[in-house]
Chains A and B, each alone.
Chain A
Amino acid sequence: MNLGNLDSLTFFYPELILLGGILLVVISDISLKGLRDRVNPLLTLAALLLALFYTLQTDHGSAMTLFEGMLALDNFALFFKAFMLVAGVLVLLGSLHSEELAAVHQGEFHALLLAVTLGMLLMANSAHLVMLYLSLELVSLTSYIMVGYLRSDRLSNEASMKYILFGAVSTGAMLYGFSLLYGMTGSLDLFAIRDALLAQEVVGFNQVTLMLVVVLTTAGFGFKTAAVPFHFWCPDVYTGAPTPVTAFLSVAPKAAGFAILVRFFLGGLSQPAGEQWGFISGIDWPLVLIVVSVLTMSLGNIAALTQNNLKRMLAYSSIAHAGYILMGAVLLTGTGLKAMLVYLFVYLFMNLGAFFVVTVIFNSEKTFELQDYNGMFRRSPFLAVAMSIFLLSLIGIPPFAGFLGKLYIFGAVIDQGLYWFAVVGALNAAVAAFYYMRIMKHMILENDDRPPTPLQISPLNRALLVLLLVPNILLIVFWSPIDRWTANSITLFGGL
């Protein structure tokens, strides 16, 4: 079912609310000189929560497209929209007591956060190549600014510049892919493209072109998800950006990248066949994606081994996790897709949690260096235990939530008979355990001679830590709602 422009507005409340929120924040930033530091976060939070409320309320009956086929509205999109908004809320709360951001004026930061969230919401929905490109650019451009938000900080500026340049290269490649696709099929609508490809029975010369299309567009998605070999920007940018922004980048745009990757490949280039999707005209594409996935996680994990800067280590770690998530996406099965969603969901809490601890420690210590974490357990047992739980969750050790993600992913892979793939994944998890444990070792076992001075944590940050800890601990017990939700969310609009 395709809805016209006016009818679509009913299902567009979350985006409209964010849009309104952006405007309000900008206006209040200009007009309320004295109050803006208090009003802006509240406005932002209200907009995000209201949008989240409407997203969860959306009852679209059946999957459909909005705005004359520009956006697809299905359970898959709703999952990602809710995901982005939750991530937005958590990052907002995490940024409130960040010393890095406190040094600069924060008015635009909140507007940018809303804008980037809006972009990601649209990314998850896009069913049209133009829409896809525009929303991706909206996310990218706002991210560039957020990365360079610390104007007086050289590293931040450099990171922003690198991000822009690298993004330009990747999106350029992606656009070239899109143009080729348009040339071949005469359409920018994903479902029309698929129908054209199905009708034309692409052979010979055209098949190589199609291959080129796939590789080039993957560059665009790979840039967002930071998959090898499109990940190079990632460590530098993550290190240079303010930590709350890093945390945000490591979770939300990455998830959005996966959303469009899945929608592009499954919606546009393959046909649903029961539980499984088949790629059009037998392209040996999954193998490439599998290789990319293996490379991504291996490179991420191995490079993280020798890092001594926490932020950089977590940057590489997030590359590795993108590899795991990709494992689920490349299977082209319902279980694989579901596993990917579960993994993303638990990743949200464990990764944001780890980054948040880093933020809190930086607030008082002004350092990201590992050896400065020595004796943290004696200085703030709560913080050390919280970090340990996040790290154990990232390793995938039960009973923490990360285990659930790995369980689903490896289960889906084994389900497809790709045992070696699962083994590689498991070996990677073992390698990853090394550097995660290293952080714990520094925090808990290593003490320097200084007498321990208690570390101050603001009540808000403490509450947020608890908020992030709860899902990490409890999801393993209450996994059935997650299981049901994700199982329900893999229905993708097929354009039929």
Chain B
Amino acid sequence: MNFLEMLALIPLFPAAGALINGLLGRRCSRACISTVACGTVGVSFLLSLGAFYQLLGRPEGQRLVEQELFTWIPAGAGELSSGAISQFLVQWGYQLDPLSAVMILVVTGVGFLIHIYSIGYMAHEGGYARFFTYMNLFMFSMLTLVLANNFVVMFVGWEGVGLCSYLLIGFYYERKSAADAGKKAFIVNRIGDFGFMLGMFLIFTAFGTLDFTGVFGLVETQAQAGVLASGDATITAICILLFVGAMGKSAQVPLYVWLPDAMEGPTPVSALIHAATMVTAGVYMVARCSALFVLSPDAMLLVAVVGAFTAIFAASIGLVQNDIKRVLAYSTVSQLGYMFLACGVGAFGAGVFHLMTHAFFKALLFLGAGSVIHALSGEQDMRRMGGLRTRIPATFWTMMVGTVAIAGFPPLAGFFSKDEILWRAFSSSQGHVLLWAVGVLAAGMTSFYMFRMIFLTFLGKSRMSREVDSHVHESPKVMTVPLGLLAVGAVVSGWVGIPHLIGQYLHHLPQYFEHFLSPALAHPAAVEGGHASEGLEWGLMALSVAIALLGLWLARRFYLTHPALPEHLVSRFKHTYTTLLNKYWVDEVYDLLIVNRTKDLANRLAGFDNRVVDGAVNGSAWLTRLTASVSGFFDYWIVDLAVRRSDLIYYLSFPLRRIQTGVIQTYAALTIGGILVIVGYFILT
């Protein structure tokens, strides 16, 4: 089978699943619904594997497959900024290259495991069919997003995942907080989407096409011909606008606020959408547009700074959160910051690498958290957990693997990808020692809050209520098996990208991953040059492991050996603590500055509507009534007089009927008379 020619089927299967469950789900059994939902995603996964394998079998220069299904928008000619005329023509097309191949594997692979896990997690919940319909619809949208071969189709997927995210965050729509969180996610994402759209518009006016190969090919040739200089204003504008879109979708400062609230959705949703796949769409998009970004150092710098800032900002909030899912949510925001930091310093490959490893361990951690919540009958507050290690061992050990991976201990996945990013931030010509320092600090915080979570949840004494305690149970196989598989991924997924430094001692293992990706990504000319000494690289690597160990040690000291210490610190640094606990008051500031001001504006507009618009309407009604009474007067005295005479028209009907005597002779005579009248008219004139 030639899987490369069946690209369209990969998103189509989940779409079919969504359709079947959406239309017939209410009448099907739960087994049937979950079979359809998981089966379609599973088939997509197999197709993706096949396509990936066959792509790998091709020579390096030919790893790009495009498949155009039909002409979607043949809108006609448009004028470009250069004055040239170009046809706006959008094909519904898919493309597979190393970048999208990695993405579909992650999306379908992790997605499939999460679908399986959901069977167990959602077993006792209502809205079963609705849940799986949305999940499948999400898979379709996400696959469309990553497989698209042009910006417009990508945008369809982009909006589709946004919609599914909204629907799934608000899955428990009876709960006001869930409904509000859904709205918040949707609205904040809209802000980003405007950036994306404006970026697209600008790309079309600049290049006259929205196809990836077209745009990036033009960029390359124009850059080589010297038409496009590095730092070109249009390119910078495009990149910044696209990055605004990425900020919204990938929860970067200042548009990150929706992601922590998104934890209102069911936990598998948090794992799939708000950790492993959708939120990484922004990173994917920036990597996809790397050809544009490398031409704009300013935009790159913005990406790197926003990424680094988000990484440490979110990590610092994560230090003190008590809700197990919120810790993970801030951790996700922070990790996404790392990915953007990588992209910003020109290491797009490292960013995508971290995206992939993160998908494994973060999905694992979320699903583990879900398993904990499941075991504790819905309890999410870590202050009321503890001592669960022996009670739910499978969950504990798999989460432990995830934690070690994210904290960056070798040889687990997180170590390789995170270290790659930190090293590039340090060594790249577009990097800076400050960016590196921020990254390292955030890594230490990550280690701290992750182990804090483990210690509070699984170790120490139980702080659960007796009621909850009596019900603690390990999750069913359908949930723990995906956890185990993801744990394997969290261990080994980093091995495809072992850095040269270590690889040279391991039978000269090459850096497979970035080498594989490199045809699909652009590389800033200067990045490769920034080689530092091997000793420095070893030193920095050791330092990042050391800081992770420091985080682990601190967490152990705070939450296991000296439990009084945190309270002591809290009372000592009261202001810092409350600021962190309240997430730097960002939500409150947004409410104050933006949300409430928007409401004020709306109120004022409503007032304008009431007074001026309605006033105008009422005034015109008054005017109409005035004219009506005037014309009524006129009517009564003048027109009615005429009408009273013009009943004539009605009464005219009777003589006309009278003519119709029914006597044929009369008819003939009248007809002849008519003819004579006409002839007479002609003779007389």
Contact = CB atoms under 8 A, between A and B. Distances in A.
Interface of A: 161-162, 165-166, 169-170, 173, 208, 211-212, 215-216, 219, 228-230, 232-233, 235-236, 284, 288, 299, 302-306, 431
B675 A219 contact: yes
B650 interface: yes
B670 A232 contact: yes
- The A contact surface, by secondary structure, is helix
B71 interface: no
B653 A211 contact: no
Contacts of B667: 162, 166, 232-233
B679 A211 contact: yes
Interface string B659-685: 110101011101111110011011101
Given A211-B682, A232-B667, A288-B682, 6 more contacts: A229-B674, A235-B660, A288-B681, A302-B652, A303-B660, A306-B657
A306 B650 contact: yes
Interface residues of B, number: 26
Contacts of A165: 664, 668
Contacts of B69: none
A11 to B, nearest CB: 37
Contact of B653 (A219, A232, A288, A303): A303
Contact of A302 (B656, B662, B673, B682): B656
A170 B678 CA distance: 15
Nearest to B667: A232
A230 B683 contact: no
Contacts of B683: 208, 211
21 contacts: A162-B664, A162-B667, A165-B664, A166-B671, A170-B671, A173-B675, A211-B682, A212-B679, A219-B675, A229-B673, A230-B674, A232-B666, A232-B667, A236-B660, A288-B682, A299-B656, A302-B653, A303-B653, A303-B656, A303-B657, A305-B653
B679 A215 contact: yes
Complex A-B, nearest 6 residue pairs according to Cβ-Cβ distance, in ascending order: A229-B674, A232-B667, A306-B653, A303-B656, A211-B682, A305-B653
B225 interface: no
Given A215-B675, A229-B673, A431-B649, A169 B668 contact: yes
B626 to A, nearest CB: 26
- Looking at A173, A302, A306, the one whose CB has the most chain B CB atoms below 10 A away is A302
A216 B657 contact: no
B654 interface: yes
Contacts of B654: 306
Contacts of A288: 678, 681-682
Nearest to B685: A284
Contacts of A302: 649, 652-653, 656
Nearest to A168: B668
Contacts of B653: 302-306
A215 B664 contact: no
A413 B654 CA distance: 31
A166 B671 CA distance: 9
- Looking at B652, B662, B670, B682, the one whose CB has the most chain A CB atoms below 10 A away is B682
Contacts of A166: 664, 667-668, 671
A169 B674 contact: no
A212 B678 CA distance: 9
Contact of A232 (B652, B671, B678): B671
B52 to A, nearest CB: 47
A230 B660 CA distance: 12
A483 B120 CA distance: 61
A115 to B, nearest CB: 25
Nearest to A288: B678
A216 B664 contact: no
A216 B679 CA distance: 9
A216 B676 CA distance: 10
A195 to B, nearest CB: 24
Contacts of A431: 649
B662 A236 contact: yes
Nearest to A284: B685
Contacts of B656: 299, 302-303
Contacts of A162: 664, 667
A162 B660 CA distance: 12
A214 B678 CA distance: 10
A233 B677 CA distance: 19
A239 to B, nearest CB: 10
Contact of A169 (B649, B650, B672): B672
Contacts of A303: 653, 656-657, 660
A70 B54 CA distance: 73
Contacts of A169: 668, 671-672
A188 B112 CA distance: 85
Contact of A229 (B660, B666, B670, B685): B670
- Looking at A166, A208, A306, the one whose CB has the most chain B CB atoms below 10 A away is A306
A208 B681 CA distance: 11
A431 B672 CA distance: 29
B667 to A, nearest CB: 4
B642 to A, nearest CB: 14
A72 to B, nearest CB: 28
Contacts of A305: 649-650, 653
Contacts of B664: 161-162, 165-166
Nearest to B682: A211
Contacts of B675: 173, 215-216, 219, 229
Given A169-B668, A215-B679, A302-B652, A228 B657 contact: no
Contact of B671 (A208, A219, A284): A219
A249 to B, nearest CB: 17
A107 B673 CA distance: 41
A211 B685 CA distance: 12
Interface in B39-72: none
Interface in B229-254: none
Contacts of B674: 228-230
Interface in B515-565: none
B465 to A, nearest CB: 63
A326 to B, nearest CB: 15
A404 to B, nearest CB: 27
Contacts of B670: 229, 232
Interface in B277-318: none
Contacts of B682: 208, 211, 215, 284, 288
Given A169-B668, A169-B672, A306-B653, A232 B679 contact: no
B167 to A, nearest CB: 33
A431 B656 CA distance: 15
B282 to A, nearest CB: 42
- Looking at A161, A212, A229, A233, the one whose CB has the most chain B CB atoms below 10 A away is A229
B327 to A, nearest CB: 57
A329 B674 CA distance: 20
Contacts of A215: 675, 678-679, 682
Contacts of A219: 671, 675
A170 B667 CA distance: 11
B79 to A, nearest CB: 27
Nearest to A158: B662
A443 B235 CA distance: 69
Nearest to A161: B664
A181 to B, nearest CB: 15
A230 B671 contact: yes
A493 B536 CA distance: 94
A166 B657 CA distance: 18
Interface string B319-340: 0000000000000000000000
A385 to B, nearest CB: 29
- Looking at A212, A232, A304, the one whose CB has the most chain B CB atoms below 10 A away is A232
- Looking at B650, B662, B673, B678, the one whose CB has the most chain A CB atoms below 10 A away is B678
Interface in B639-657: 649-650, 652-654, 656-657
Nearest to A212: B679
Given A165-B668, A169-B668, A169-B671, A232 B660 contact: yes
